[in-house]
């Protein structure tokens, strides 16, 4: 075996071919399953993509580096189920580009955070974490009360649609208007929002300042949507618990 390698080293073209063969085995083992991802990951019927406002919040979540300290994946371990709830499913982040599972937790996992705390708490906590959780080491994000730039939302939705997220043309065209409408339940635009996105989605002023659409609105709307895009993990968990 070693002798074979020794001789191979002396034939440069042979060595090149052998390197390509060896490297492609590693490549194929990792890449081949992805060609069948549509069959292995089944999307639940009730899975919805993020609304424009939530999507803007997701961009802010990424911009501020929240993912560096907060994972978004409940692992399949007993104590994680006890603390956070059902373990995360691959399908839950099927519409996430990129996904934000994370692997390191300086803060708690956020995969089941949606509607656990009130909007007011999120606003107070983001502006000054120590005001509500004295022992917190999370940085403060007071600048989030500045106006939200919705200029790129239409392109953002269009890009995701090309990647396979089911946004229709009406949703893409109205993205900036719908971002505003989701934070204004009493406005005339809210009707159009409900028509395009359905009645189940949280429609309210998230940042406590109804006059302005801020980055805080977007981020809190996103945080309140975490783990609430589908009920599949809860259904599966109930079925598994029942089966044992």
Residues of this chain that interact with other proteins (CB under 8 A) are: 2, 10, 29, 32-33, 36, 39-40, 75-83, 85, 87, 115-121, 124-125, 131-135, 202, 208, 234, 237, 240-241, 244
Q: Pick the closer one to other proteins by CB: 124 or 177.
A: 124
Q: Pick the closer one to other proteins by CB: 102 or 210.
A: 210
How near is the Cβ of 38 to other proteins at its closest, in Å?
Answer: 11
Structure tokens at 202: 């949280």
How near is the Cβ of 131 to other proteins at its closest, in Å?
Answer: 6
Structure tokens at 91: 């399908």
How near is the Cβ of 210 to other proteins at its closest, in Å?
Answer: 8
How near is the Cβ of 232 to other proteins at its closest, in Å?
Answer: 13
Q: Pick the closer one to other proteins by CB: 167 or 222.
A: 222
Q: Pick the closer one to other proteins by CB: 160 or 229.
A: 229
Cis status of the peptide bond prior to 98, with omega within 30 of 0: yes
Q: CA 122, CA 120: separation in Å to the nearest integer?
A: 5
How near is the Cβ of 158 to other proteins at its closest, in Å?
Answer: 31
Q: Pick the closer one to other proteins by CB: 119 or 178.
A: 119
Q: Pick the closer one to other proteins by CB: 185 or 192.
A: 185
How many alpha carbons lie under 13 Å from residue 225 in its C-beta half-sphere?
Answer: 30
Q: Pick the closer one to other proteins by CB: 138 or 177.
A: 138
Q: CA 143, CA 63: separation in Å to the nearest integer?
A: 13
Q: CA 125, CA 132: separation in Å to the nearest integer?
A: 6
Structure tokens at 95: 């519409």
């Amino acid at each position: 075996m070693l002798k074979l390698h020794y001789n191979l080293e002396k034939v440069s073209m042979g060595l090149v071919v052998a390197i390509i063969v060896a490297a492609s085995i590693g490549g194929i083992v990792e890449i081949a399953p992805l060609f069948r991802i549509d069959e292995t990951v089944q999307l639940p019927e009730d899975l919805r993509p993020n609304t424009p406002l939530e999507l803007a919040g997701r961009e802010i979540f990424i911009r501020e580096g929240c993912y560096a300290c907060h994972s978004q994946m409940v692992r399949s371990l007993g104590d994680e189920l006890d603390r956070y709830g059902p373990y995360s499913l691959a399908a839950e982040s099927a519409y996430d580009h990129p996904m934000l599972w994370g692997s390191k937790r300086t803060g708690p996992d956020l995969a089941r955070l949606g509607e656990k705390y009130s909007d007011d708490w999120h606003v107070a906590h983001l502006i000054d974490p120590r005001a509500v959780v004295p022992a917190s080491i999370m940085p403060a994000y007071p600048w989030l009360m500045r106006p939200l730039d919705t200029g790129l939302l239409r392109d953002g939705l269009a890009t995701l649609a090309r990647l396979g997220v089911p946004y229709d043309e009406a949703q893409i065209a109205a993205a900036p208007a719908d971002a505003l409408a989701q934070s204004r339940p009493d406005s005339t635009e809210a009707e159009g929002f409900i028509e395009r996105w359905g009645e189940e989605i949280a429609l309210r002023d998230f940042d406590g300042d109804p006059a302005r659409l801020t980055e805080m609105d977007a981020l809190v709307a996103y945080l309140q949507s975490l783990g609430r895009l589908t009920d599949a993990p809860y259904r599966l968990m109930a079925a598994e618990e029942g089966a044992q």
